[in-house]
A = this chain, B = another copy of it.
Amino acid sequence: MEHTYAVIMAGGGGTRLWPLSRKETPKQLLPLIGQETLFQSTVARLENLFPPERILVVTVEEQAREMRGQAPQIPNENYLIEPAPRGTASVVGLAAAVLQARDPQAKMAILPSDHFIRNKDLFHYLLKAAFDVADDEYLVTLGITPTAPSTAYGYIQQGESLNGKYRYPTYNVRRFKEKPSEEAARDLLRTGDHSWNSGMFIWRADVIMREIQMQMPALHDALSQIAAAWETNSRDAVLNENWQPLKVETVDYGIMENAARVAVLPAGGLGWSDVGMWSSMFEIMLPDMDGNIATNRSLHLSHETHNTLVYSKDSERLIVTIGVDDMVIVDTGDVVMVCKSDQSQKVKDVVEHLKKHRQEKYL
């Protein structure tokens, strides 16, 4: 694991866990389960694999202060601040450029800050295996073996096996696919050769920089300017000047889709969830015999209730459910949300409505 680095992408401000996640407290900064925030869990998951000085965090100014407080073991200079959101391609490029300047042999694992992974040992094993594949100049992605025909994820179709060459089954990537319709998702599941796109990537800094140079030359130029100025007094000015004109692009569509040498390690049993909506909580918390989950059992009184999540935060209110099935109930003190579990992706519509009606206090 020499020359390996972890890059945590932590700038997002998702709304899909509203009313818990708010502008000031995005998902990754929330203690969703227990005391640890998702960001802290992401950092903790890297223990024994990366020392803190080889963990980088790319985030935005508004969140950096809170993150430094939550993970003080990560050195200050390892927090890279995006001056403005320009998509994951720019984030990845910034990290690669800075790392390459520090260590020309750098290899990096790009990791979202707000995902859940139960099986830490397997995660470590997969990262190590992926770094081996990355040594051979592959852009590597961890695929998640689907457990349901989800329409919430992009899919990766695997091609021929890179047979026996690596310690974990590894495949060329045939195609990246956008979030499918439900029918299409059922078909994809049946093929057996599709994984969910987890957003976790592993590669050498020089390889990804070369790929950026080919596919996104404007970004590459900007990154070169930024890297050259990084250790100088003009860092902020040069970063800003070069960053603002960048166009917003994701790493998936800006780079991966058209890269020649892409590999996937399809992982089952990782206990992975992107915690992308309230119903995801049923994947990451252990329900009782009735399928219910309560974050504070002494505040939930259930009667003929099944498969229902009761999530209380900053609230001492008793929540009583009678004859309730397959629901998510969230109490944040100023808002009570009652949502059918399979409709929880519609939380974002409610947030849009609140924005439109300038209900700032709830955002």
Contact = CB atoms under 8 A, between A and B. Distances in A.
A338 to B, nearest CB: 5
Given A301-B350, A349-B303, A353-B301, A344 B331 contact: no
A19 B333 CA distance: 18
B334 A318 contact: yes
Given A303-B349, A349-B303, A353-B301, A323 B342 contact: yes
Main secondary structure of the interface of A (DSSP, over half): mixed
A346 B304 contact: yes
A336 interface: yes
A337 interface: yes
Given A304-B346, A350-B303, A339 B322 contact: yes
Contacts of A303: 346, 349-350, 353
A322 B346 contact: yes
A38 B321 CA distance: 26
Nearest to A351: B320
Nearest to A328: B322
B342 A338 contact: no
Interface in A157-194: none
Nearest to A349: B303
Contacts of A317: 333-336
Given A334-B317, A335-B317, A338-B329, A322 B304 contact: no
Contacts of A359: 318
Contacts of A338: 319-322, 324, 327, 329, 338
A253 interface: no
A343 interface: yes
Contacts of A327: 324, 338
Interface in A289-341: 301, 303-304, 316-324, 327, 329, 331, 333-340
A295 to B, nearest CB: 14
A347 B349 CA distance: 32
Contacts of A125: none
Contacts of A333: 317
Interface of A: 19, 301, 303-304, 316-324, 327, 329, 331, 333-340, 342-344, 346-347, 349-350, 353-354, 359, 362
The 4 closest A-B pairs by CB, nearest first: A323-B343, A323-B340, A322-B339, A320-B337
Given A303-B349, A329-B338, 16 more contacts: A304-B343, A317-B334, A317-B335, A318-B334, A318-B359, A318-B362, A320-B338, A320-B350, A321-B337, A322-B337, A322-B340, A322-B343, A322-B350, A323-B342, A324-B340, A327-B338
